[in-house]
A = this chain, B = another copy of it.
Amino acid sequence: MIEITGQHLINGRWKNLGNDTFSSANPATDVNNDYCFFEATSEDAEQAVVSAAGASKQVRRLSAIQRADFLEAIASEIELLGAQLVEVAMSETALPQMRIEGERGRTCGQLRMFASKLREPTQPLHIDLADSARLPMPKADSRLNNVALGPVVVFGASNFPLAFSTAGGDTASALAAGCPVIVKGHPAHPATTELVSHAINKAIISTNMPVGIFSMVQSSAPEIAQQLVQADAVKAVAFTGSQKVGDILNKLAQSRVNPVPFFGELGSINPQFILPALLATQANTLAANQVASMLMGHGQFCTSPGVVVVTKGAGLDALMATLKENITSAGAGTMLTRAIAQTYQQKLAHWTSHEKLNLIGLGQEGQGQCQTPAALFDVSASDYLSDVSLQEELFGPAALVVVCDNSEQMQLLAQTMQGQLTASIHGTVDEIQTEQSLDLIDDISQHVGRVIFNQMPTGVEVCHSMQHGGPYPASTAPQTTSVGSNAINRFTRPVCWQNMPSSILPSELQDNAASVQIVI
């Protein structure tokens, strides 16, 4: 058992310069957990940045194999945390054991996926050989590769205490790219953050990494986050969280003397477009799938389906009836934090009192501050389109059924929707191939990172073809993904090397390495 000390991990040492503390609460019992965590001081944060900056050169010069060994060691060390990690994470998030264990598996799987990618030979991006005889001017040798950006600040996410936090996808991909990482732990699960940081620290020691490769600071105040984003030595920021906080941090990143990329995944309502022929025959299944998907993680997945778009016609009554039945019987669930539960209740109250919304059904009410009911409402497409507040994410287990008068209205909705991580089209194979449907799909594809046919959006596959990110507000950097192997590209930048002697080029660009893959 690792003792939780509440300290920060800075430059290879557990320490705290200040004495102010904060606690996490158990959302299930609404009682504070036993541990206390030191609020990072400005000096703590500064030391973490200095440590990362100091290690930056050494980290980017690590071989791909060294980085792979490190990532795999982190995965093994996380597994060695065993039941303690599961219990602590459960106590801070109220997520069920199976979910935490599954998320641990995904977290370790991501680390190993990046490691296995690093074990493949590094390819040059492109090599153009010199041509001294070219007219009117000789052509210089130029070779393109990716270089690491430097220190990256990663913010832990409330809704994925493992897979999007301390050793989650952002940290794993930044380390894989050759960047030191400074994690700002999410204040809702600091003990989880500390345990995982212990695992990373053990991996640093066992694989002989520079200590500055990973630091972690805890804080429940916004000032430390702001300081880290604005630190001159920090070269990129990765954030998964609310649109409000993400916007603030992104603005800070862009208003620096030297602005840096801000990779924020901020919000998505993941619309479900149901076409008429499938609705006519599969209304019950569609309704059951919708409720099951929106209840996953009690509606606190980034890909939770918050809007169902249908047209009036056969099957709509059956859809509504099954939605009502399933949502009404849904038990109350526990939100991740008091603040998230409160925001959900406030927005739910707005929906409940909204004169254009009609309640389809409310799930069971819970007890305690963090327990909330699931809910489904319906609204006409014209009312939905005329009220922007309805088009914003409601983080939690609530969704709107938007009823269109006709397919043109459905198309208009697709054309005007905000950027989304995903959208699904549910239809028969026949109806999806009509010109009208293809047009709808085309419009949808302009607003999302992932287009899905006849499946629910929850459950993001960690694979090479994944795109987790879409136009704002789904992502602040829609040309990148935060899940899948391409996530590594966020933390590198192409550099062209012109007329350099082969021996001092990065290894993947040297003559011998490139001899089989030169493209002229």
Residues of A within 8 A of B (CB): 57, 60-61, 125-128, 137, 139-140, 142-144, 147, 150, 235, 250-251, 254, 258-261, 418-419, 429, 432-433, 438-439, 441-443, 445-446, 448-455, 459, 461, 463-467, 471-472, 476, 478-479, 481, 486, 489, 492-501, 503-504, 519
Residue of B nearest to A451 (CB): B497
Cβ–Cβ contact A496 & B450, under 8 A: yes
Find the residue from A140, A235, A438 having the highest chain B CB count within 10 A: A140
Given A481-B494, A503-B433, A125 contacting B446 (CB threshold 8 A): no
A495 B433 Cβ-Cβ under 8 A? no
User: How many Å lie between the Cα of A415 and that of B432 in the bound state?
Assistant: 56
A sample of 30 cross-chain residue pairs with beta-carbon separation below 8 angstroms, ordered by A number, consists of: A57-B439, A60-B442, A125-B465, A126-B464, A137-B459, A140-B455, A142-B450, A142-B466, A144-B464, A147-B445, A235-B471, A250-B254, A251-B254, A254-B254, A258-B471, A432-B501, A432-B504, A433-B501, A433-B504, A445-B495, A449-B493, A449-B495, A450-B496, A451-B496, A451-B500, A452-B499, A453-B497, A455-B499, A466-B496, A467-B496
Give chain B nearest CB distance to A230 CB in angstroms. 14
Which residue on chain B has the smallest CB distance to residue A256?
Answer: B472
Neighbour of A453 across the interface among B125, B449, B500, CB < 8 A: B500
- The reply to whether B147 and A498 contact each other, CB–CB distance below 8 Å, is no
Whole-angstrom distance between the alpha carbons of A478 and B491 in the complex? 11
Please name the residue on chain B nearest to A509 by beta carbon.
B465
Known: A258-B471, A442-B57. Contact between A451 and B495, CB under 8 A? yes
Chain B nearest CB, measured from A101 CB (Å): 11
A173 to B127, CA, bound (A): 21
Bound: A466/B498 CA distance, A: 9
Q: Is the CB of A495 within 8 A of B448?
A: yes
Which of chain B's residues has its CB closest to A251's CB?
A: B254
Instruction: Chain B residues near A503: list those with CB within 8 A.
Output: 433
Assess the B467–A494 pair: CB atoms within 8 A: yes
Q: Is the CB of B147 within 8 A of A499?
A: no
B residues near A438, Cβ cutoff 8 Å: 504
Assess the A464–B128 pair: CB atoms within 8 A.
yes
Contacts of A463 on B, CB cut-off 8 Å?
128, 139, 142
> Within the assembled complex, what's the spacing in Å between the Cα atoms of A378 and B499?
28
Which residues does chain B contribute within 8 Å of A144, judged by CB atoms?
464-467
- With the chains together, A395 CA to B442 CA distance in Å? 45
Q: Which residue of B lies closest to A479 (CB)?
A: B493
A362 to B433, CA, bound (A): 71
Distance from A116 Cβ to chain B, minimum over Cβ atoms (Å): 13
Report the bound CA distance from A481 to B125 in whole Å. 13
Residues of chain B within 8 A (CB-CB) of A504 are 432-433, 438, 441
CA distance A254 to B247 in the complex (A): 10
Judge whether A258 and B472 touch: CB under 8 Å. yes
Residues of B within 8 A of A498 (CB): 450-453, 455
Give the complex CA separation of A453 and B127 in angstroms: 16
The verdict on A418 contacting B258 (CB below 8 Å), with A441-B504, A449-B494 known, is yes
Could you say which residues of chain B place their CB within 8 Å of the CB of A464?
126, 128, 144, 519
Closest to A446 in B: B150
Residues of B within 8 A of A259 (CB): 472, 476
What is the minimal beta-carbon distance from A312 to any residue of chain B, in angstroms?
A: 25
Q: Residues of B contacting A467 with CB < 8 Å? A: 144, 494-496
> What separation, in Å, do the CA atoms of A442 and B467 have in the docked complex?
32
Closest CB of chain B to A497's CB: distance in Å? 5
Rounded to whole Å, the gap between the CB of A42 and the closest CB of chain B is 23
> Do B479 and A261 have beta carbons less than 8 Å apart?
yes
Minimum CB–CB distance from A275 to chain B (whole Å) comes to: 13
Q: Would you give the shortest CB distance from A433 to chain B, in whole angstroms? A: 6
With a CB–CB cut-off of 8 A, which chain B residues contact A442? 57, 60-61
Contact residues in B for A479 (Cβ distance below 8 Å): 261, 489, 492-494
Residues of chain B within 8 A (CB-CB) of A432 are: 501, 504
- CA distance in complex: A250, B254 (Å): 10
CB distance from A420 to the nearest CB of B (A): 11
In the complex, residue of chain B having the shortest beta-carbon distance to the beta carbon of A388: B257
Q: How far is the CB of A211 from chain B (nearest CB, A)?
A: 20
The 5 A-B residue pairs with the shortest CB-CB distance in the complex, in nearest-first order: A467-B496, A144-B465, A126-B465, A450-B496, A452-B498
B-chain residues with CB within 8 Å of residue A143 when the two chains form the complex? 465
B461:A128 contact, CB within 8 angstroms = yes
A465 touches B496 (CB 8 A): yes
Q: Give the interface centre of A439, A452, A498 by most chain B CB atoms within 10 Å.
A: A498
Residues of B within 8 A of A250 (CB): 254
Most chain B CB neighbours (cut-off 10 Å) among A137, A450, A493: A493
Enumerate chain B residues within 8 angstroms of A486, measured Cβ to Cβ. Answer: 494
> Provided the pairs A128-B464, A142-B465, A144-B465 are in contact, do residues A499 and B150 lie with their beta carbons within 8 angstroms?
no
